[in-house]
Structure 1
């Protein structure tokens, strides 16, 4: 009976898959229904007609119940059990003896022929099972009316005082009592509802509290309905059959009510008039999609619950197992039609094109029909595998999207609060692990696998299954651990990148410790990933019975060989390790080495990437890097020259330079960069056009360039106001006469005159340079 209920329950899980692809016009519903009836109906009944002749000819053999009881009693006899065990041991020994003595060529050839024939045997056995299953269905169909007649007689005999109408009235009455108690609970819990509404929707914590509060509130309403319906019914003394029937259908009503409330909690349809419904629901879907599935899922679940309650009662009323199989197929057909209607009438999202929507709808239709045909053929193992292969990934993706949607960063008005990435990773991977383990457990139950028997058994199949289970568990544990480590590293990197700016109005200054973390953490992350993958693979191999000792020894030998054959690679890796240990450079620092210079962008185990200030990206192996000049570490002193006229008051100029340097040091734009303000060191030299003054400033790396330009602008303005001359090259021409005969008249500047002046200036500079030497 558990298997039967599980077979019915798969319908609900399949239909929820439709929420992933969103929509199709309702005008194709009639065509879809007609198509399915025209295809599936003749297929089922055609097979039935083909097999009806042989089945009728065979007839049904009726075995008296007392003989069946005698058979079971005989099988339970200890002496019979011992004899059967002895026969099995003898058969096993007789089969193993030829193998131990050595197989003959004829036997070897027969084995070689039999090996490729196993596939044909398996295929034929599968076809035989399908044929026998369909024959059983066809053989059961003529006997269903008699079974229903016996059921009706048994019901009427036990309920002669009330009849079926009285039973339905009792069910409706206690459902109404449950709804009344739920309404009273709704009114009494108004403060709790107001608290849920008051939670902010602009923060991840507020949205999580809203969803958690709605879930708790829905659970309270479900408990109220269960107490008012099934609980109130159990307070009275009823006849056994009436008690069983009414209580079963009341529990089906409680299940339907529970699904309805939880669907409303997750989807939050717009017809409930909830403000900002699209922001407080648990999934990133549109209002049209939420309204559609909020309408269809509770109704489909209600039909499923009615069928489940009916099938729970029918075996006790006289319906045999074959009859239950036939009736379950009828129920599956009804549920299939409901789900197909829901899928074909679903709305289309804005991001989904009409072509993709049609393709997704037809794929879902083919998938559901294939599941139904597997049920008809009795391929229950394939049915459960096909169901899990689609439902499990869909549930994982849906859960991941829901977690990321609910815990997304808050709005800018609320300050954009965030949930730590570690928390999100733990929730996401934890839910994924629960879903996978639950799916594995349900598949084991559906396939009839006994975990205790598997642990005690040593057969080949059992060993393989145990190994596969261990592999899944190890993979889940590795994924869970790696997700937490990755989230921790990404969170640390995100914090460092976020705090790189001291203030919105201040220039970026990177903390050395943070820069070092950003340099080392990516490398540590890659190393940890490699370690986790290697350990997980070795544990998986050990769990399936493979000896990993020789593998580790062989890997060591291969490592030594690779080390000798790839000395350059080993040199690069070892050099990189020592560069990192020496803290020679970090991500974001400007370095130069030989002909290479640029900002460090990233690392690998064997090379570093430098971005030149003009754009080119250099990838340099650590072994070729050599001596490194780091121009971004701690502080930097910038020295530059200023030329003033020979008649300038040097002391007055020094004071002006110092004053401007102090003003720039207090400027909010530069104050976080300046270590020592701009000041004059003294006279550098007597230049060709004036006195050269030496000026220096000490700043944090990268802060002197922009400040130097601002200093030049302010210094020019101050010198102009104080009458200090900034000399520049001039040319004085003598001995030329204008065309009009005036000695001091303006002279026309011609290209020839420009060339002569430039040549004279060059000769004078060369003469001065020679004199200096």
Structure 2
């Protein structure tokens, strides 16, 4: 008991000494300890047992006064959970639900204590005189000093904001001119003008805030010297003014309500005005409240009152945010849904999902900010504010770059007529690859924004990871791979364009030259694509750390094995190369190869594709091609043989054939006939006809059409001249009886009448 009494007296003396040392700067100071307190403290420290006991008690008081901070997600420290657990389990062994319950209980307890202290102070101010005196004595509030401090602070606030508003009015004309300039001009460069205008306007906004801040810093020393104002309180306001107004300037970049041309986000003026007003109010309430009011209350009133005021401020901000989010949830949902309907792919699904759950995410974010701010206002509020600001900057810059790329590139790229004539596939190729590249860039921007945002919220330390060897190598490899892929695409476009420029048919090209060009285009495109893909794959594999030497050696061995096992394939390729070198066939030719005849649809490396007259598609390997019969090379001949009866004149028949050819030359096929008709003469004295052959030279591939038209005219002219074209016929003989009479023959006519004939009656 004696030791406990001594330790208690020593503790009291030590606490009194510490209070004197810590409160020398406060307006109301405690009386210094007496000499007896120092003597008791010295006696206490001489005893080992009492000294250790005093040390333990001091550590307990320190732990009670400064509890271990909770994590930003509300995690309870491991020691506290272990102490609460009857079995002494560690934080990892205790369930997540219990840790959440402990964090929730701590939050509720802190809020309860803060509101109780704030309520006690307010009740003391408005109670009776005796109770008011007692409350004032308890909280050590010097109302006169507080009133003077508030008056000095009010003077600085008024002067600073008057200067700020005056400068804003002077800069209004400049903002208006910038807005008109950004809205003018071509639509294709609208995003560039908007970006430049917003950047200049933001710079002016920052200059205005800085000038107002400098005016406040000029007035603050005067107030300190003339009125005895506390420089610390004035500095608190000026710092808060700089932070809050710069934040509002950042909001005006995205939601400029007065100047439409200086608004980055594509929203209507009314929506921009509402969003700007809401976010500016939240920034002002939280910024000025937590950075000015709470520190002043902590210093002049008490720590409990300041904490209670901070909790009240955050609760009001939370309630206001919740009301606005719930009220506007449908408006933003409809806007996101409309944007999603105009998109496609993963972006459309993401926007539709965000449209349904955005208000829940916003409410969860507001609750998280409120919770961490109430639990740890000194560390959590700067952390949340900085992380939110960085996230907004990343998202804004990413959105700006994405929109700028979309507007600069446009929906379709138009090339000149000269380029389209020499390289007809270039425009289609560019309009295919450029949007694909734009999608890749947008995806990379989205990934980068997510990575940087998570780093801002300290899910990981991106800078520390990049400082490691693995991080630096990974980033370098990713950048190299992107550059390699971009260069591969560029090389493909250039080479393909050069090949097209060389082999594409021109206006003065003959049909044969055009067909040859189409064939070589397909062959070169296939070869270049395979080569570029293989080389790009090898280089990318080497960039990610895979040794390509063994792969190349293995590919050589594999190729040798395939060469022995697939001799037919090698023969196909080699034969196809020689066929192309000899220009034996081209796309569009009518050929006969490998027992199949048809029009050439495609000539590849190892096979040719034919389409016959019935529409059947044949693929013929080159190894099965012994000979190529091309019916559409340089010219074609219609060779016709026309038979006449033996009693007809051959010369008259030739005259009619020439007359039919003269009419043919004046008809629809006059451009397809290359030379006069050649009459080869009589080619055969057949069983029932005399055959006359003629030859008509035509353009390649048109010999069959010319022949069909000539056959029609020959029939018409022979009929007109009465020249018989023999055809097979049969003579019926009924025979005779012994008396020389023919038997009766029944003949059925077209009108179904039956005529009976007798030899002697009808002959």
Aligned to 2:51: none
Report the CA distance between 1:594 and its aligned residue: 3.9
1:624 matched to 2:634? The reply is no
1:516 matched to 2:513? The reply is no
Is the CA contact 2:645–2:689 (under 8 Å) kept in the aligned structure 1? Answer: yes
1:466 to 476, 480, 483: 476
Query: What is the CA deviation profile of residues 333-381 of structure 1, one whole-angstrom value per residue up to 9, with x for unaligned ones?
Result: 799765764124666799999xxx999745653478569868949999x
Aligned to 2:137: none
Report the CA distance between 1:59 and its aligned residue: 5.1
Change beyond 3 A, Cα 1:424–1:485: farther
Is the CA contact 2:678–2:694 (under 8 Å) kept in the aligned structure 1? Answer: yes
Give the 3-state SS of the residue equivalent to 1:701 in structure 2: coil
Range with greater deviation from structure 2 (706-715 or 645-654): 645-654
Aligned to 1:674: 673
Aligned to 1:253: 252
- Give the TM-score normalised by structure 1: 0.54
Aligned to 2:31: none
Change beyond 3 A, Cα 1:396–1:750: farther
Mapped to 2, the partners of 1:126 and 1:478 lie a distance apart of 51
Give the 3-state SS of the residue equivalent to 1:676 in structure 2: coil
Aligned to 1:717: 716
Is the CA contact 1:590–1:632 (under 8 Å) kept in the aligned structure 2? Answer: yes
Give the 3-state SS of the residue equivalent to 2:188 in structure 1: helix
Is the CA contact 2:256–2:262 (under 8 Å) kept in the aligned structure 1? Answer: no
Is the CA contact 1:637–1:697 (under 8 Å) kept in the aligned structure 2? Answer: yes
Change beyond 3 A, Cα 1:262–1:185: closer
Mapped to 2, the partners of 1:258 and 1:492 lie a distance apart of 57
Is the CA contact 2:189–2:408 (under 8 Å) kept in the aligned structure 1? Answer: no
Is the CA contact 1:523–1:604 (under 8 Å) kept in the aligned structure 2? Answer: yes
Aligned residues: 564
Give the 3-state SS of the residue equivalent to 1:159 in structure 2: helix
Is the CA contact 2:325–2:362 (under 8 Å) kept in the aligned structure 1? Answer: no
Is the CA contact 1:253–1:305 (under 8 Å) kept in the aligned structure 2? Answer: no
Aligned to 1:97: none
Give the 3-state SS of the residue equivalent to 1:530 in structure 2: helix
Give the 3-state SS of the residue equivalent to 1:702 in structure 2: coil
Mapped to 1, the partners of 2:595 and 2:584 lie a distance apart of 18
Change beyond 3 A, Cα 1:339–1:636: farther
Range with greater deviation from structure 2 (421-430 or 395-404): 395-404
Is the CA contact 1:590–1:631 (under 8 Å) kept in the aligned structure 2? Answer: yes
Give the 3-state SS of the residue equivalent to 1:696 in structure 2: strand
Is the CA contact 2:586–2:600 (under 8 Å) kept in the aligned structure 1? Answer: yes
Q: Which has the larger radius of gyration?
A: 2
Give the 3-state SS of the residue equivalent to 1:638 in structure 2: strand
Query: What is the CA deviation profile of residues 421-462 of structure 1, one whole-angstrom value per residue up to 9, with x for unaligned ones?
Result: 24435643554465456556656655389999988x663444
Aligned to 1:696: 695
1:211 matched to 2:187? The reply is yes
Change beyond 3 A, Cα 1:461–1:697: same
Mapped to 2, the partners of 1:546 and 1:713 lie a distance apart of 73
Change beyond 3 A, Cα 1:125–1:688: farther
Change beyond 3 A, Cα 1:583–1:643: same
1:365 to 356, 362, 384: 356
Mapped to 2, the partners of 1:121 and 1:671 lie a distance apart of 98
Mapped to 1, the partners of 2:154 and 2:68 lie a distance apart of 26
Change beyond 3 A, Cα 1:167–1:748: farther
Give the 3-state SS of the residue equivalent to 2:524 in structure 1: helix
1:343 matched to 2:333? The reply is yes
Change beyond 3 A, Cα 1:251–1:577: same
Change beyond 3 A, Cα 1:615–1:607: same
2:173 to 170, 177, 181: 177
Is the CA contact 2:635–2:701 (under 8 Å) kept in the aligned structure 1? Answer: no
Give the 3-state SS of the residue equivalent to 1:684 in structure 2: strand
Mapped to 1, the partners of 2:583 and 2:92 lie a distance apart of 65
Mapped to 2, the partners of 1:263 and 1:491 lie a distance apart of 46
Aligned to 1:541: 541
Mapped to 2, the partners of 1:585 and 1:123 lie a distance apart of 79
Is the CA contact 1:572–1:622 (under 8 Å) kept in the aligned structure 2? Answer: yes
The one of the two structures with greater contact order (alpha-carbon pairs below 8 A, sep at least 6) is 1
- Give the TM-score normalised by structure 2: 0.55
Range with greater deviation from structure 2 (235-244 or 567-576): 235-244
Is the CA contact 2:254–2:264 (under 8 Å) kept in the aligned structure 1? Answer: no
Supply the RMSD in Å over aligned alpha carbons: 6.5
Change beyond 3 A, Cα 1:134–1:569: farther
Query: What is the CA deviation profile of residues 90-132 of structure 1, one whole-angstrom value per residue up to 9, with x for unaligned ones?
Result: xxxxxxxxxxxxxxxxxxxxxxxxxxxxxx9999999999999
Query: What is the CA deviation profile of residues 246-287 of structure 1, one whole-angstrom value per residue up to 9, with x for unaligned ones?
Result: 6764564344349996799998xxxxxxxxxxxxxxxxxxxx
Report the CA distance between 1:694 and its aligned residue: 0.7
Mapped to 1, the partners of 2:578 and 2:728 lie a distance apart of 53
Report the CA distance between 1:530 and its aligned residue: 2.9
Give the 3-state SS of the residue equivalent to 2:627 in structure 1: coil
Report the CA distance between 1:575 and its aligned residue: 2.8
Change beyond 3 A, Cα 1:122–1:745: farther
Report the CA distance between 1:614 and its aligned residue: 2.0
Is the CA contact 2:585–2:630 (under 8 Å) kept in the aligned structure 1? Answer: yes
